[in-house]
């Protein structure tokens, strides 16, 4: 366990250095809209310092502290540009756009809609401090409901995870100008997908208000929260394919209606937890720039040696210039079809690499592509 925690500290240092080394100026994504480096790391240097120090049970090394202190700055104008895109569309009846799984997001799919749009809700749910003493806690998450959501219909659910420096809001699902919402609204509007529910939780399975157990290791314990707390809560409060019963129910029966995906550390969680621990709960997986400590392909193949649950799809994306995650993501997923016969390239598996770094230019593209592959 100590080795895992120290490795987590190294990841934190690497990720924070990588994210902080970018210029404070706005970056440009595939659609030409601005995104700021604030989107990549949305946490205070003090909070990160405390988390690292506590996780390692040592003083934070000067080099790591220096990287953490390189906080990015952003302006209100840049932030607004990142979330609203260049145009607002919603009145046109033209449905000529066709989404494609490729190396760019069609601008029509990032434009904010003024009609036929879904809604975002903020929820609180009971969980447990799995990284601490196990006491009951309350956590928050964001939930996207597609346009026309009705209790008379059943919906698929995607659990979308954040990175090591983020929280439940890192994907922007705490505001109606969220790019995730815009992409989902438009994919459904143009008929490319059947709308589904998205949940963005905080991926740390611990008491976020406590100074104990709130370290990097909490990311690796999130599978317990998924299985015991979060999924049952979602399925008891929203119209999903699960036959929820407060006295217990067969969660496996509806696994083909659940997906898990995430960026960076969330990609690691998708591989290590989604595939490695909860293959009975999920059938679709997406890893966007999966972070170091992601299970290598050989380990995943070993875990799945006797797996009886069909893997419907596993999508991966990473930037070729990503000095933080490319090596780890490649080792985790690029050779999976060669070492595990449960992954067949072009059928239920895709590895996508293209020019790019460790940022939302890659991650939004990854989400856009995965949203079209899931639940098909």
User: How high is the pLDDT of residue 216?
Assistant: 84
C-alpha–C-alpha distance, residues 163 and 47, integer Å: 15
Specify whether the CB–CB gap between 259 and 282 falls below 8 A. yes
- pLDDT tens-digit profile, the chain (376 residues): 444 444 544 454 445 444 433 322 222 333 333 333 233 333 333 443 343 334 333 333 332 222 222 222 222 223 333 443 434 544 444 556 689 998 999 999 999 999 999 999 999 999 999 999 999 999 999 999 999 999 999 999 999 999 999 999 999 999 999 999 999 999 999 999 999 999 999 999 999 988 665 678 999 999 999 999 999 999 999 999 999 999 999 999 999 999 999 999 999 999 999 999 999 999 999 999 999 999 999 999 999 999 999 999 999 999 999 999 999 999 999 999 999 999 999 999 999 999 999 999 999 999 999 999 999 9
Q: Does residue 156 contact residue 217 with C-beta atoms inside 8 Å?
A: no
In this predicted structure, what is the pLDDT of residue 199?
A: 98
Q: How many CB atoms lie within 10 A of CB 245?
A: 11
DSSP annotation of 94 reads -
> What is the reported pTM?
0.81
Query: Within the chain, how many helices (H) and strands (E) appear?
Result: 12, 10
Task: Kindly give, in sequence order, each residue whose CB lies less than 8 Å from that of residue 349, ignoring residues fewer than 6 positions away.
Answer: 313, 314, 315, 336, 337, 343
Q: Of 309, 226, 296, 310, whose CA–CA distance to 260 is shortest?
A: 226
**Do 129 and 137 meet the contact criterion of CB atoms below 8 Å apart?**
yes
Q: Sheet of 136-145: strands edge to edge?
A: 119-128, 136-145, 197-201, 157-161, 258-263, 284-288, 313-319, 349-354
pLDDT score for 98: 82
Residue 334: Cβ within 10 Å count: 15
Q: What is the pLDDT of residue 50?
A: 43
The CA angle 18-355-166, to the nearest 5 degrees, is 35
| Domains parsed from the chain with CATH numbers | 89-373 (3.40.50.1820)
> Interhelix angle for 62-69 vs 45-56, to 10°?
150
């Amino acid at each position: 366990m100590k080795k895992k925690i120290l490795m987590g500290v190294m990841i934190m240092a690497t990720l924070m250095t990588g994210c902080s080394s970018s210029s404070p100026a706005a970056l440009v994504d595939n659609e030409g809209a601005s995104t700021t480096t604030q989107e990549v790391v949305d946490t205070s240097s003090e909070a990160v310092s405390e988390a690292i120090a506590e996780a390692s049970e040592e003083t934070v090394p000067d080099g790591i502290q220096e990287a953490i202190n390189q906080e990015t700055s952003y302006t209100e104008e840049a932030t607004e540009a990142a979330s609203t895109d260049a145009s607002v569309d919603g009145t046109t009846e033209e449905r000529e756009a066709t989404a494609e799984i490729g190396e760019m997001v069609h601008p029509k799919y990032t434009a904010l809609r003024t009609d036929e749009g879904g809604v975002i809700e903020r929820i609180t749910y009971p969980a447990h401090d799995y990284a601490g003493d196990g006491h009951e806690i309350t956590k928050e998450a964001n939930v996207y409901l597609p346009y026309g959501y009705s209790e008379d219909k059943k919906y698929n659910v995607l659990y979308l995870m954040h990175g090591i420096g983020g929280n439940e809001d890192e994907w922007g699902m705490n505001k109606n100008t969220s790019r995730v919402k815009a992409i989902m609204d438009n994919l459904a509007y143009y008929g490319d997908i059947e709308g589904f529910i998205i949940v963005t939780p905080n991926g740390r399975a611990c008491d976020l208000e406590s100074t104990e157990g709130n370290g990097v290791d909490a990311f690796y314990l999130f599978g317990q929260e998924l299985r015991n707390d979060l999924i049952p809560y979602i399925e008891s409060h929203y119209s999903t394919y699960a036959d929820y019963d407060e006295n217990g129910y067969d969660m496996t029966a509806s696994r083909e209606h659940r997906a898990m995906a995430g960026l960076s550390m969330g990609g690691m969680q998708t591989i290590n937890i989604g595939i490695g621990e909860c293959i009975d709960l999920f059938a679709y997986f997406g890893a966007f720039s999966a972070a170091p400590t992601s299970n290598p392909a050989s380990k995943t193949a070993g875990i799945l040696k006797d797996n009886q649950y069909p893997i419907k799809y596993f999508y991966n994306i990473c930037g070729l210039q990503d000095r933080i995650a490319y090596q780890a993501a490649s080792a985790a997923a690029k050779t999976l079809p060669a070492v595990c016969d449960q992954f067949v390239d072009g059928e239920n598996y895709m590895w996508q690499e293209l020019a790019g770094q460790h940022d939302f230019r890659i991650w939004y593209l990854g989400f856009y592509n995965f949203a079209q592959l899931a639940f098909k």
